[in-house]
Amino acid sequence: MSLRRFLGAASAVAILSGLAPVPAMAAPLPAPSLAPAVNTPSTLSGDRGPAWKQRPDGFASLPGHGLDGTTGGQAGRIVTATTIAQLQEFAAAPEPLVIFIDGTLEAAQYVKIPVAANKSFIGVGAGAEVVNAGFKLINVSNVIFRNFTVRDSYIPGDWDGKRPDNDRDGIQLDTSHHVWVDHMKFERMGDGLIDTRKDSDFLTYSWNIFADNNKALGVGWTPNAVTRMTIHHNWIRNTTQRNFSLDNTAAAHVYNNYLQDVGQYGMMGRNSAKVVLEGNYFTAVQDPIVAKDPGTEIVNRDNIFDSTRGRKDNVGTAFDPAANYSYTKDEAAAVPGIVSSGAGPRDNNARNTTTEITVALDGTGDFGSLQAAIGSVPAGSTQARTITVKPGNYRETVNVWADRPNLTIQGATANPADVVISYDTPAGGQKFFGGTWGTAGSPTLTVHAADTTVRNLTVENSYDEAANGPSQALAVRSIGDRVTFEGTRFLGNQDTYLADTAGRDATARTYLKNCYIEGDVDFLYGRGTAVFDGCTIHSLDRGSTTNNGYIVAPSTKNSNPYGFLIINSTLTSDAAPGTVSLGRPWFASSDPDALPMALIRDSVLGNHIAVQGWADMGGHSWTEGRFAEYRNTGPGAYVNGFHPQLSDAEAATFTPNAFLGGWTPTGRG
């Protein structure tokens, strides 16, 4: 069989030559041995991307447990799998094998393929992939995975991965050693992308892509601090948690990884983990480095943090990677370019150019989750794309990342109640690693990107105030400029919708047309500029006979003449008459010089509106804000000293065009 035919001469040499056959031996896991070994530094090879190493580097290259290193199936025959059945047969074989994966191998029903010792799984050229299946290594050793994709075992609707039948990992290791995962791609699995469990040891994960998943990469499930692993030059993107979560690792060396667009925490050490994090690049990651427990030691050095917030822990001395093996790391500033061009299967990084993407819970779409669909859009692309979401209730938190502008996300029908995006994170809820989720961690939908349009669907924060007590619980936070919501429902209680900006001096304009928004306390708030045109704004009944909440709470910067405009809208409620305030001024602690601004005009106000229309807040009188009304009608449209009115001349200067500053949203009449 010609290796040149399948891989090309260079790849064949890189993958198969120079690896001395070494038999696998079952052995108990002794105390860690930190013998040094040599590791070739990462280099570039012309336009082929990073040079493929002949041997694994890092901990997978070291001797231990009866092996001199990791060689996979080098001592055995070469076979080719073109079906899942063949892959299962070869993977379970007792003999060493080099198993070429040729084409798309898709399982009709998810299967986790048992793997015996001394195996190499190598993708053949571009397009080699295993679909709706994963690999399971239990008490085995000497296994290599290279050059193919493992994808799409996600169970639509089970974003949390809590269903009892959902153990759909890409790779699961239990008490296994000497495993090398290199130039692979893992995306959209039902559970974890790789679960490294139960005292597995001598591992290297290098040059992989881990993408479009909730739970990415967990390590641990053991009380023992045994695992030694090297994690380098991986691209972790559009994930939420476990990026990695390193529990009780004896030595985890994490360098030159690129973490991009991560919804929750980044790298985490837990229990007695010893972790060295160096030369990594974090962008748009909340809590990028967390030492969760008192026994955790994390060395945090030479990392770059871009558009991040939260914890960047640096505690203890952990260990010295150079005492185990030689390595040369790239400068952190170069990591995004190096990793994004070189990680993943060779010749298999074509950018997605499709402009129409479909999401469905019944398997008829391109993806089963909205967040996965957003992740399929290449970061940095400015091409206009439309994501159509078919009817159903999608339980997930969704981020439209700042590096994915010009997206339209729309329900498949004209009825926004048919498509519901729902989650239940309260801002006051406790993170399991300390602190609270806060405002930025609470929204079900966060729109970071400019020129985003959302239409004909519902976004809900389903946090149960009655059962769990009051808390901020945002349905939507918009941050990007020129964001449009059309025919969208926003459901929540306190702080349902936050019109935000990327910073105090940034401008962010949002246009909301024919939307329905409900809540009770300050449920339209923030420092952004927002025009609510033809909307129904519904105040929930809190059961009070005197105070059933506040509608707007702007925190407009003092240099911005335009905050909130409610026009041609209807304000409704089932609350007792006269018990809802139009709003109050929010002088946020981060911006004591704010000058809150809101205008309600040409709208119908129900009888729930208070005779004293505006309220004080946090020691500030409502008169310190810029509040006004104009030509409203209905039983709540009072004209008195508590309802300041614009003159006709003034009203002519405060129009949607003025608030939007020359931007004409699509669909605006």
Residues acting as catalytic residues: 495, 522
Cβ count near 242 (within 10 Å): 26
3-state DSSP percent of the chain in helix, strand and coil, to 5: 10, 40, 50
Q: ∠ at Cα 228 (225, 229), nearest 5°?
A: 135
Backbone Cα Rg of the chain = 28
What phi and psi values does residue 342 have, to the nearest 5 degrees?
Answer: -115, -15
Cβ density class 50-86: b for 16+ within 10 Å, e for less:
bbbbebbbbbbbbebbebebbbbbbbbeebbbeebeb
Only one residue has tokens 């001394």, namely 118
Query: For residues 625 and 623, what is the distance between their CA atoms, to the nearest angstrom?
Result: 5
At 459 the three-state DSSP class reads strand
Please tell me what DSSP assigns to residue 352.
P
Contact 212, 236 (CB under 8 A): no
Contacts of 380 (CB under 8 A, 6+ apart): 403
What phi and psi values does residue 355 have, to the nearest 5 degrees?
Answer: -105, -10
Between the CA of residue 623 and those of 118, 394, 616, 617, 643, what are the distances in Å?
76, 43, 8, 11, 11
Partnered with residue 291 across adjacent β-strands are 269
Query: For residues 296 and 246, what is the distance between their CA atoms, to the nearest angstrom?
Result: 10
Query: For residues 419 and 463, what is the distance between their CA atoms, to the nearest angstrom?
Result: 18
Contact 526, 591 (CB under 8 A): no
Q: Which amino acid is at 287?
A: D
3-state SS of 565-595 is: EEECCEEEECCCCCCEEEECCCCCCCCCCCC
Only one residue has tokens 């070494």, namely 22
Between the CA of residue 633 and those of 75, 161, 571, 578, 582, what are the distances in Å?
84, 50, 10, 15, 14
Query: For residues 143 and 179, what is the distance between their CA atoms, to the nearest angstrom?
Result: 5
